Structure formats: structure tokens, C-alpha cells
Amino acid sequence: MEEKVFSISEYIAILNTELRKCTAKIIGEVGKVDIYPSGHVYFSLRDEKDQSVINCIIWKSKYELFGIEIKEGIKIIATGRPDIYKQTGRLSFIAETIELAGEGILKKEYEKLKKKLGDEGIFEESKKRAIPAYPQKIGIITSKQGAVLADFLSNIGNYGFKIKMVDSRVEGQSAITDLLSAIKTIKKKDIEVLVIMRGGGSFESLQPFNNELLVREVANFPFPVIAAIGHDKDVSLTALAADRSVSTPSIAVTVLSESWEQAASLLEGYERDIIGSYENVLENADSLINHSVDAIRGIKDIIFNKYKEIETALKISFQTFKNALQNNKSNLKNLWRKSVFGFNSLLSIIKQQLEHSEKIIYLRNPETQLKLGYSISRCDGRLIRSIRDTKIGKDVDIRVVDGAIVSRVKNINKINKKYA
Amino acid sequence: MPKEKPDVKNLSDNLKKLSEITEWFEGQEDIDIEEGLKKVKEAVGLIKASKERLKAVENEFEEIKKEVDIEKEEDNEEGKLEEDIPQI
């Protein structure tokens, strides 16, 4: 069997395929650094012990993620794989992630970035947004592998939360890419608050949360962010930039549910107040009704008494009027009786007067006397009542009932005195 | 002088005149027969007229009394009706 002859290109391709399997994490001191106009960074890493050197490349898109300035002399850990560049045949280590090596340097860089971001005001308390009261739509970024999520979900309570979770690695420099991607994803979701969680760990293990890009994303996130990133001494910069930082997921749950618990407590209070107020209202209404009933009874008595007074007054008035009528009638009757009596008396007097006059006239009527045979004699026009009223030879006129007789006195005889 | 005819309607004047005639007769010592006859005739006329007038007045008065009696009866009926009005 004839041995296959590869072209250079084919062979390098085979090598690169094999080399991809040699993914590794390497540590070394940065030597010469070239940053190309494209933004890609070419540098070398040197072994501290035997000065072995390997050329490294980190593409611009990756380099910008980690917030580490690659410069000569610093010690870094790079994660990646080797690759042969066809055009030059040069082997280079393509770094996917880079991180500073050595706690001293990490802390130094941490403080440096903390100062820088602090100077920009990213950690200002005045910029912190309040966690909304009665939140319902909650976004979570964490690893679904860890116990953190289970801890969170078991404590969340029954307040009707709608949770949207985006899975992300939370440890190692490779977590930075995931976290940034998760932030980008969840930003588009309909949420009210974001919770970024991971369990406790060493300062080194929390390095992704000190990533400048992540910190800025959290600071500029459109909704309030709760960071539940466990830590010992040095708080991660992401936690500092978050609107609220708590040490454990269960405390994050408390933050989210505290307004609901307060509401429940308030509702109980309001319920008590409302019931108490309503009881007071009922009591007052009862009292008012009783007072009103008493008042109405009082008014009713007044009205009835007044009615009786008016009734009595009316009766008296009617009786008085009736009496007055009766009196008037009685007076009228009396006056009539008096009038009748007076008139009858008057008639009687007149009759008596007429009778008297009639009697007098009859008695004094000269004709009455003459008819009886008496006569009236006159001498010289004077009545002859005595023999002395005439003389012998004198003419005497004698009046009788039906005429007058003229005679002459021949003799005069005196009648005895006892007849005079 | 024409003979004065008595006014039958004026009873008071007639009675007054009659009274004067009566007094005249009662006061006469010497009877003037002619004057006495005149007075008697006048008195008889006055008495007759007065009696007629008196009768007429009496009749009139009786009519009035009847009217008054009728009114009284009506009043009594009304009084009964008043009694029938229910008390308050």
C-alpha cells in the first residue's frame, strides 16, 4: 500500500484538527506584545523556570471581554488551544480567555478597576434603584447546575412570581462570555427585576464578576438588579454595581418577597381596621338610630299634645261660638218678646185712650143731653144756670136737640134752697 | 173753614188731637154747644180713623209676628242640624 502524501495545506489542516484536542490552561509571563490595528493582540508567554516561550494570540472580540491589559511582564493564565497559521507555518496559542495569575496581582487589578469605576460613579448609592414593590416578573441569571437555583426556588414563596431564567456558567473566565450573553438575552425579556446568583467561592473563582464589561452591563441594566454573589471579604464589583447586594439566594428571595409580606401584613391590619371601623360605624349607626327613635317619640308626643291642645282650643272656640249664637238668639227672642209686649202695651194704652176719649166725648156731647130732653138756655148770649141770670121780660134762647126756641121771661119762681 | 178730615194713617197725631179734644171737654165750665158739637164730630172722626188705623196696625203686627215665628221655627231646625254636627 502506497503511503499517502499530503500537501502542506492538508497536513497543517490535519495538525490543527489534532491540535484542537490539546485545549489547555497555561501560565506564563507576558513577553513582547503587539496590538494590531485590527485590535487582535499578539504576545508571547515565557515560562518562569526555563524561559520556554510560546507565541499567543487573543482576538479582539475576546480581548475586550476580560478587562485585562496585556502588557510585558505580567503573569497571566490563558485558556485556549494551539493552532498553526498556514501562511507562516507558525504555531500560536489561541487564547479564548485570559486572567491575571497570582492573588496579589488579582487584588491589585481589582482595586484598580474598583477605583476607576468608583471614580465614574458607578457604585454611587444615589444611583441605586429601589427594588420595585410587589414585583411579579423576575429574571434570573445563574447556573442551573448548582444548588443556588434550587435554594432560590424553594424559598421564593407563593406570591405569583413569574420567573424567567437564563442559564450561564458562573465560574472561571469562560463564564464572562456566558454572563454577558445572558445579560443580553434577558434584557429583552419582560421582567421587572434581575437577580444574578452564584454560590460562595474564593476570590479567584469570583473573578468573572469583577469583569469590567459585566459590571457596566449590570450598572446600566434597564431594571433594578439584585446580586446574590457569595463572597468572603472582597465584594465583587458586579455586586457593588448592582442596585442591591445580598450574600445568599435566600436573602434575595426575602428582598423580592418582603413587599408582598408587608402587603399581607398591611392587608391584615387594614382588614382589622376596616372591621373595627365598620363595627364602630354600626355601633354609631345603632346609637344614632336609638337617638333618632327617642327624638321621634319625643316629637310624636309633642305633636300629639299639640294636637290635643289645638283640638281642645277648637272645641272651646266652637262651644264659645255656639254659646254666642245661643246668646244672640236668646237676646233676640227676649228683645222680640219685649217688643211684642211693648207694642201690645202701646196698643192697649191707645185703646184705653180711645175708649176714654170715646166715653168723655159721649158723656160731654151736648146732643146726648139734648136728646134726653134737656135744653140749654141763654140770655143775652150767656148760659142761664140760675134765676139771677135773667129777668122778667128778657128774651131767652132755648136750645133743644133739633133747634132753638126764642121765648120771653114772664115769671121767675125761686125753688127751695135745698134743690138749688 | 173747610172741615178737616182726619189722617187715618197718622195715629199719633190723631191720638194727640183726640187727647186735646178730651181735655177741652173736661176743662169746659160753660159748654159752647156749637163748639162742643164741632169737637164731638171731630172727635168721632178721629176715634173712627184711629180705630181703623189701630186695626190695620194690629193686623200688620200680626203678620210680622207670623213671619218672626216662622223664622224662629227655621232657626230651631238649624239648631237641631247644628246639634247633629259630629264633635271633633
Q: Note whether A93 and A127 are same-domain residues.
A: no
**In 3D, which of A243, A200, A245, A234 has the Cα closest to residue A111?**
A234
- How many domains is chain A built from? 3
**CB contact (8 A) between residue B54 and residue A350:** yes
CA distances from B84 to A57, A312, A385 (A): 135, 19, 83
Q: Note whether A62 and A180 are same-domain residues.
A: no
A311–chain B Cβ distance below 8 A for any pair: yes
CA distances from A141 to A146, A228, A247 (A): 12, 10, 15
Size of interface A-B (CB pairs under 8 A): 71
Burial zone of A148 (CB within 10 Å; 0-12 exposed, 13-18 middle, 19+ buried): buried
**Structure-model confidence comparison of residues B9 and A162, the more confident one:** A162
For residue B82, name the pLDDT band (cuts at 50, 70, 90). low
Q: Note whether A120 and A246 are same-domain residues.
A: yes
Is A330 contained in some domain? Answer: no
Q: Note whether A57 and A76 are same-domain residues.
A: yes
State the Cα–Cα distance between residues A195 and A168, nearest whole angstrom.
13
Half-sphere exposure of A81 (CA within 13 A, CB side): 12
Residue A91, SS3?
Answer: strand
Residues A341, A345, A346, A351, Cα dihedral to 10°? 140
In this prediction, the residues of chain A whose per-residue pLDDT falls under 50 are 420
The interface residues of chain B toward chain A in range 10-69, judged by CB-CB distance below 8 A, are 11, 15, 18-19, 21-22, 25-26, 28, 30-31, 33, 36-37, 39-40, 43-44, 46-47, 50-51, 54, 57-58, 61, 65, 68
Strands A90-100 and A53-58, how do they pair?
Answer: parallel
- Give the list of residues 6+ apart from residue A52 with CB closer than 8 angstroms, or none: A46
Is A387 contained in some domain? Answer: yes
pLDDT (0 to 100) of residue A223: 93
pLDDT (0 to 100) of residue A420: 47
For residue A256, how many other CB atoms are within 10 A of its CB?
Answer: 27
Is A314 contained in some domain? Answer: no
- List the single residue in B with minimal CA-CA distance to A319: B87
- List the single residue in B with minimal CA-CA distance to A333: B72
Q: Note whether A183 and A135 are same-domain residues.
A: yes
* pLDDT tens-digit readout, B19-62: 888 888 888 776 677 788 888 888 888 888 888 888 888 888 88
Q: What is the CATH number of the domain that holds A250?
A: 3.40.50.280
| C-alpha R_g of chain A | 77
Residues in chain B with CB shorter than 8 Å from the CB of A376 are: 31, 33
What are the backbone dihedrals phi and psi of residue B29, each rounded to the nearest 5 degrees, phi first?
-90, -50
State the Cα–Cα distance between residues A313 and A305, nearest whole angstrom.
12
Q: Note whether A87 and A149 are same-domain residues.
A: no
What are the backbone dihedrals phi and psi of residue A192, each rounded to the nearest 5 degrees, phi first?
-110, -25
Q: Note whether A179 and A63 are same-domain residues.
A: no
Domain end (from A213, A235, A259): A259
Q: Note whether A82 and A133 are same-domain residues.
A: no
Is A306 contained in some domain? Answer: no
**CB contact (8 A) between residue A333 and residue B72:** yes
pLDDT (0 to 100) of residue B80: 58
For residue B25, how many other CB atoms are within 10 A of its CB?
Answer: 18
Q: Report whether A159 contacts A263 (CB < 8 A).
A: no
Q: What one-letter code names the amino acid at A346?
A: L
A350–chain B Cβ distance below 8 A for any pair: yes
Domain end (from A101, A131, A157): A101
Q: Among A310, A317, A332, A360, pick the best mutation site for testing chain B contact (most B Cβ within 10 A).
A: A360
Is A17 contained in some domain? Answer: yes
B83–chain A Cβ distance below 8 A for any pair: no
**CA B34 and chain centroid, separation:** 30
Residue A310, SS3?
Answer: helix
Is A279 contained in some domain? Answer: no
A310–chain B Cβ distance below 8 A for any pair: no
Considering CB atoms only, which of B40, B50, B51 is closest to A365? B40
- List the single residue in B with minimal CA-CA distance to A310: B88
Q: Among B13, B14, B17, B18, pick the best mutation site for testing chain A contact (most A Cβ within 10 A).
A: B18
Q: What is the CATH number of the domain that holds A87?
A: 2.40.50.140
Residues in chain B with CB shorter than 8 Å from the CB of A351 are: 54
Domain containing residue A26: 8-101
pLDDT (0 to 100) of residue A181: 93
pLDDT (0 to 100) of residue B4: 55
Q: Among A316, A340, A364, A371, pick the best mutation site for testing chain B contact (most B Cβ within 10 A).
A: A364
Considering CB atoms only, which of B37, B57, B79 is closest to A367? B37
Tracing cell 290635643 back to the chain, one arrives at: A308
Residue B88 has pLDDT above 50, yes or no: no
pLDDT (0 to 100) of residue B75: 65
Domain end (from A236, A259, A282): A259
* pLDDT tens-digit readout, A108-157: 888 889 999 999 999 999 989 999 888 999 999 999 887 888 888 888 87
Q: Note whether A121 and A248 are same-domain residues.
A: yes
Q: How far is B33 from chain A (nearest CA, A)?
A: 6
B84–chain A Cβ distance below 8 A for any pair: no
- DSSP letters, chain B, are -PPPPP-TT-HHHHHHHHHHHHHHHHH-SS--HHHHHHHHHHHHHHHHHHHHHHHHHHHHHHHHHHHHHHHHHHHHHHHHHHHHSPP-
pLDDT (0 to 100) of residue B5: 61
Contacts 24+ apart (CB under 8 A), A338-343: A340/B65, A343/B61
Q: What one-letter code names the amino acid at A253?
A: V
- List the single residue in A with minimal CA-CA distance to B43: A361
Q: Note whether A94 and A155 are same-domain residues.
A: no
Residues in chain B with CB shorter than 8 Å from the CB of A366 are: 31, 33, 36-37, 40
**CA A382 and chain centroid, separation:** 140
A289–chain B Cβ distance below 8 A for any pair: no
Q: Note whether A136 and A204 are same-domain residues.
A: yes
- DSSP letters, A346-385, are HHHHHHHHHHHHHHHHHHH-HHHHHHTT--EEEETTEE--
Is A86 contained in some domain? Answer: yes
Considering CB atoms only, which of B11, B36, B88 is closest to A315? B88
Is A270 contained in some domain? Answer: no
Q: Note whether A116 and A231 are same-domain residues.
A: yes
